[in-house]
Copies of this chain bind each other. A is one copy, B any other.
Amino acid sequence: MSMKWISVLLLLQLGCYFSPGSGGKVLVWPTEYSHWINMKIILEELVQRGHEVIVLTSSASILVDPNKLSAIKFEIFPTSITKHDILGFALKLTNKWTYDMPKDTFWTYFSLMQEIFWEYSDIMEKFCTDMVLNKKLITNLQESRFDLILADPIGPCAEPTTLSELMKKAEMWLIRTYWDFEFPRPFLPHFEYIGGFHCKPAKPLPKEMEEFVQSSGENGIVVFSLGSIVSNMTEERANVIASALAQIPQKVIWRFDGKKPDTLGPNTRLYKWIPQNDLLGHLKTKAFITHGGANGVYEAIYHGIPMVGVPLFADQPDNIERMKTKGAAVRLDFNTMSRTDLLNALKTVINDPSYKENAMKLSRIQHDQPMKPLDRAVFWIEFVMLHKGAKHLRPASHDLNWFQYHSWDVLGFLLACVATAIFVITKCCLFCCQKFSKRGRKEKRE
């Protein structure tokens, strides 16, 4: 649950230059990898609708790539961090979190986790400093008269402030989940649940891949990917996995970028990149082996595909646990699972019809909404630009400090009242008792 703040996008109102005729001007503060892949869908939709979108990114960015053809504009600032540093950190993060930490005791796990977070925090701070101390850039941005900042708070950077203050300042929180993924709980009117907005109907596969998929016949295929950060694994793990996959009657499409495992079966093909959404939307797809990244989980929900989850790090264990509880996934431990474990898990989600039924139930919830999540996201972005914020949705609790928020002031006052009352009553009782006992003694003496 503590990981859920990573699924938020914040809308912060800046200026008020937008008019419906001209379109607005949006400044974007993104983060890397899957967060960017996801956010870009909203940015492209904004550009389509006539808004100007400028992405603020450093010279060390990996996927946030201005060279790719797009109408999105980029403002690149120089930084002393290199692409090599980022790639190195990503590798260290995934390796430590995936292989080392699960074997550790609670305390070493905790200190390793802290070490990773400090390192991440240092990199973010460096980016932020290089950006805000770049006078030319800041002047340029100030003169650009933006209407809105769309920020991913997993890499917070701002005017001096805390993450909590930044989130309080936001006009709207676009939350990248929905009630197919979440369990029902109270929320606030300035939260908009837009999970799955990046999903779309499947496009045709490349010819070679389509032929391979069709060759699976009635058994269908299994899609396997560990996401945009992890493309590699130890030889031992790869062999365990490959030998399990070799035993199923389905054909397997595996996104894998390492040494070809010795145990690889003829039914399994390796690809450095796969069109994941198109594969999950293919009629022949029976199951999805996933690390449980939110993007992939939502594509599986959208297309109603049951999952075998091998969560690695961050919010992935939580995501898979939710899918397991909703009956649409089986969860395995990446480090300890045996060939038989993976084989049984695959057989279960493919042959036990309840998994497909539950995945389809989630899919229907995702599809049958009053309005498409991407349209809702864009609606509220335009609303904040047009109405200079969304003040009517902002709870007053954001203006309270912690002891007001928890009603300690009220509680304190009430306790003081009770204490005073008890004190007065006790004093009165004692006084009366003394009076009576004095009179009693007096009467006795008489």
Which residues of A approach B to under 8 Å, CB–CB?
179-180, 183-190, 364-365, 368, 370-371, 375-376, 379-380, 383, 386-387, 392-396
Residues of B within 8 A of A184 (CB): 188-190, 392-396
Q: Are A370 and B379 in contact, CB atoms less than 8 angstroms apart?
A: yes
Answer whether A183 and B387 are a contact pair too, CB < 8 Å, given A370-B371, A371-B371.
no
CB contacts (< 8 Å) of A387 on chain B: these are 364, 368
Which B residues are CB-close (under 8 A) to A376? Answer: 370
Is A185 within 8 A of B371, CB to CB? no
Q: Inside 8 A of A179's CB, which chain B residues have their CB? A: 189, 392-393
Cβ–Cβ < 8 Å partners of A188 in chain B? 184-187
Instruction: Among B375, B393, B395, point to the contact of A370 (Cβ < 8 A).
Output: B375
Alpha-carbon gap, A183 to B189, bound state (A):
10
CB closest residue in chain B, given A382: B368
Residue of B nearest to A395 (CB): B184
- Copies of this chain in its oligomeric complex: 2
Shortest beta-carbon distance, A419 to chain B, in Å?
A: 22
User: What is the chain B residue whose CB lies nearest that of A180?
Assistant: B392
> Within the complex, what minimum Cβ distance (angstroms) separates A168 from chain B?
13
CA distance A365 to B384 in the complex (A): 12
Contact A189–B190 (Cβ < 8 Å): no
| Chain B positions within 8 Å of A379 at CB level | 370
Contacts of A368 in B (CB 8 A): 383, 386-387
A190 CA to B368 CA in the complex, in Å? 15
**Complex Cα gap A194–B368 (Å):** 19
Closest B residue to A184 by beta carbon equals B395
Point out the residues of chain B lying under 8 angstroms from A190, CB to CB: 184
Name the B residues within 8 Å of A386 (CB-CB).
368
Known: A179-B392, A186-B188. 20 other contacts (CB 8 A): A179-B393, A180-B392, A184-B188, A184-B392, A184-B393, A184-B394, A184-B395, A185-B189, A186-B187, A186-B395, A187-B188, A187-B189, A368-B383, A368-B386, A370-B370, A370-B371, A370-B375, A370-B376, A370-B379, A371-B371
Q: How far is the CA of A387 from the CA of B369 in the complex (A)?
A: 12
CA distance A387 to B370 in the complex (A): 14
In the assembled complex, the CB of A11 is this many whole angstroms from the nearest CB of chain B, namely: 15
Q: Chain B: which residue is nearest A326 at the CB level?
A: B392
A242 to chain B, nearest CB (A): 37
What is the distance, in angstroms, from A362's C-beta to the closest C-beta of chain B? Answer: 8
Q: Which residue of B lies closest to A365 (CB)?
A: B392
Complex CA distance for A190 and B179, rounded to whole angstroms: 10
**Distance (Å) between the CB of A302 and the closest chain B CB?**
15
Q: Tell me the nearest residue of chain B to A362, going by C-beta.
A: B392
Measured CA separation A187–B392 after assembly (Å): 15
Cα separation A186 to B380 with both chains bound (whole Å): 19
Q: How far is the CA of A54 from the CA of B217 in the complex (A)?
A: 51
How far does the alpha carbon of A26 sit from the alpha carbon of B317 in the complex, in Å?
43
User: What separation, in Å, do the CA atoms of A180 and B379 have in the docked complex?
Assistant: 18
Q: Give Cα distance in the complex from A371 to B364, angstroms.
A: 20
A380 to B365, CA, bound (A): 12
Chain B proximity of A304: nearest CB distance (Å): 15
A380 to B371 Cα, complex, angstroms: 12
| A364 CA to B389 CA, complexed, in Å | 13
Q: List 24 A-B contacts (CB under 8 A).
A: A179-B189, A179-B393, A183-B396, A184-B188, A184-B189, A184-B190, A184-B392, A184-B393, A184-B394, A184-B395, A184-B396, A185-B189, A185-B395, A186-B186, A186-B187, A186-B188, A187-B188, A187-B189, A365-B392, A368-B386, A370-B370, A370-B371, A370-B376, A370-B379
Which among B183, B187, B383, B396 is the interface contact of A187 at CB below 8 angstroms? B187
- Would you give the shortest CB distance from A53 to chain B, in whole angstroms? 21
Complex Cα distance A180/B390, Å? 11
A365 to B375: give the CA distance in the assembly, Å.
18
Which residues of chain B are within 8 angstroms of A394 by Cβ–Cβ distance?
A: 184
